[in-house]
Each structure stands twice: as C-alpha cells, then as structure tokens.
Amino acid sequence: MRWTPGGLSSDVEDRRGQSGGGFGGGGLGIVGFLILLVVSLVTGRNYIGAYFSGGGATHVQQGAPRAASPQEDRSAQLASFVLGDTQDTWTRILARENIRYPRAKLVLFRDYTQSGCGTAQSATGPFYCPADQKVYLDLGFWDQLKQYGASGEFAQAYVIAHEIGHHVQNVLGIESKVRAMQQQNPRARNQLSVAMELQADCFAGVWARSTADRQILEQGDVPAALQAAAAVGDDRMQKMARGYVTPDSFTHGSSQQRVGWFNRGLNSGQVSACNTFSAAQ
C-alpha cells in the first residue's frame, strides 16, 4: 500500500506509555471472542463467562513503560494513516446521503487500558466501543495475526477498516437496532452477531475499493487482506483452539463468509451491497 510515514493524527490517542486497569467486560473485537475462548481453554479459567457477566475482574500486573521500537512506531503511523483514509472515505460516502460522519478515535495501548465499554485487554484483540466511539488496538496484535497466517501492511489495514466499519454501523443506527434485536430474541444472538461482523467486513471492502480507485493499492495488497479475513474466520479459529468446529457458536462468520463479504464490498464499492442481514434471513 502506498503511504508516507509521518506523525500520528489528532484522531489517535497514544496510551502506550500509560498503565491501565484490570481485566473486565470490555467490548469484543474482530477475533476477541475466539481469543478469549483459546485463553479459557489453555488456562482453564472461564474468561468468556466473566466477559458476558461483567463481573469477576482479574487484575494484571504491568511493568514500567517500555520505549517503542522503530517497527512499532511505523505500525502506529500506518494505523494513523489507515484510520484517516478510511474516515475521509466514509465522510465522502455518507455525505452523498446527507449523513454527517462523526470521526472515531483510535486508542493505541499496551496490555490493557480503560474504555467506555469496560477494560480493554490485548487478549481480546482490536475492538470498537460504541459507547465512546473509539477503536482500541494493541499493536502487539499484528504478531498474533502473523501466527494466524496473515501478514503485511494491508492485512493490518483490513483490521482497522473492519473496526471503522463498526463505527459506520453505529453512525447509521444499525448497531443499536441489532443489540435491541438480540435482547428481544436471545436465540438469534449469534446469527445477528455474525451478520454484524460480515457487514463490517463488507464495509472494509468498500474502503479497499476506494484505495484501488485512487491507485493506493500495490500488488499483493488484496490477497493480504483476504488472507487476514480468512485467518480470523470462526471455523479456523475454533479448529486451532480445540480441533473441531461448532457452526452454531459462530459470532464472526466462517473464513469463506468473511472473504466473500469483503470481496463483495471490494467488487461493488457500494454500501447497498453489504446487506448481510437479508442474506442471513
């Protein structure tokens, strides 16, 4: 992806040098639920239950702040660039429908920090909190993404664009409607969650289409994004964690679904192509 490293924009809150709180009920991100599942299976502690109940905080000790490496600083600058570009893109797209786009913030942190949705911890992965309209990201997640078989700058860009997709859902009122539907029909909670996540993937694809139209993309960028989408599919993550797959427990969608919806947004460049809820029905 063509971009020029620089400073961090005013839309970025850099908390990497700050200490945080404990582990609590923060919002789950792109692979947060499944990472908590892996941690629960490995440690024998029910972190998933603690998340949904909102209780039982487990405090984590943190050492003195460490200096950022040049590689980490570059990753932070890339995240800032992608954040700005995705938000500029959505400002233009929504303006066509006379919808004002309020800019989200990106919070960079290490290990854990406080969010409007509770305590954010690196183990939950990147996530968007609708309560404070901020995306929370521990840059160490990129190392985890490599372990899942996805690497490269555009793979990182896909993750950020996905989380901004959740902000777009919040701006359009989709997020609040889905949460209300989940409360009214708990049996459909997972199905609705999958539709939400796949729509955010499609929105990420819409942004990716804009980068292609503006000739920001380079050879290999789209395959990197598709590889990242496939890497965090529920089926792949469950297979890695426990050796088998239970589709009824999916909350983000299968690898094939995630790749398919990202491609739909990429190929169409249209928000109207991202109605995952009709597709789910």
DSSP-derived secondary structure letter, 149: T
Where residue 111 falls (left for φ over 0; alpha for ψ -120 to 50; beta otherwise) is left
CB atoms within 10 A of CB 89: 20
Band of residue 43 on the pLDDT scale cut at 50, 70, 90 = very low
- Quick one: average pLDDT of 275-281? 80
The answer to whether residue 2 sits within a structural domain is no
Please report where in the chains the tokens 């969650």 appear, as a residue. Answer: 193
- Quick one: average pLDDT of 119-142? 94
The answer to whether residue 4 sits within a structural domain is no
Q: What is the pLDDT of residue 51?
A: 43
202 and 270 in contact (C-beta within 8 Å)?
Answer: no
Total count of domains within the chain: 1
Pairwise CA distance, residues 74 & 46, whole Å: 36
Contacts of residue 205, defined as CB under 8 A and 6 or more positions apart, other chains included, come to 261, 262, 263, 264, 265, 266, 267, 274
Please report where in the chains the tokens 């400002």 appear, as a residue. Answer: 91
The answer to whether residue 58 sits within a structural domain is no
Q: What is the pLDDT of residue 237?
A: 85
- Quick one: average pLDDT of 73-91? 96
Pairwise CA distance, residues 199 & 204, whole Å: 9
Q: Is the pLDDT of residue 32 over 70?
A: no
H or E element: which one contains 138?
Answer: strand 134-138
Band of residue 123 on the pLDDT scale cut at 50, 70, 90 = confident
Among 39-53, 99-113, 204-218, 237-251, the range scoring the smallest mean pLDDT is: 39-53
The answer to whether residue 140 sits within a structural domain is yes
Q: What is the pLDDT of residue 54?
A: 41
Whole-number mean pLDDT of the chain?
85
Render pLDDT for 167-224 as a digit per residue (tens, 0 to 9). Answer: 999 999 999 999 999 999 999 999 999 999 999 999 999 999 999 999 999 889 999 9
Range of the domain at 189: 12-49+67-280
The answer to whether residue 266 sits within a structural domain is yes
Q: Is the pLDDT of residue 38 over 60?
A: no
Q: What is the pLDDT of residue 67?
A: 72
Residue 138: closest CA among 272, 236, 31: 31
Share of the chain above pLDDT 70, in %: 82
Q: Which segments of 54-188 does DSSP mark as H helices, in order?
A: 70-95, 141-147, 153-171, 174-184
The answer to whether residue 59 sits within a structural domain is no
The answer to whether residue 108 sits within a structural domain is yes
The answer to whether residue 153 sits within a structural domain is yes
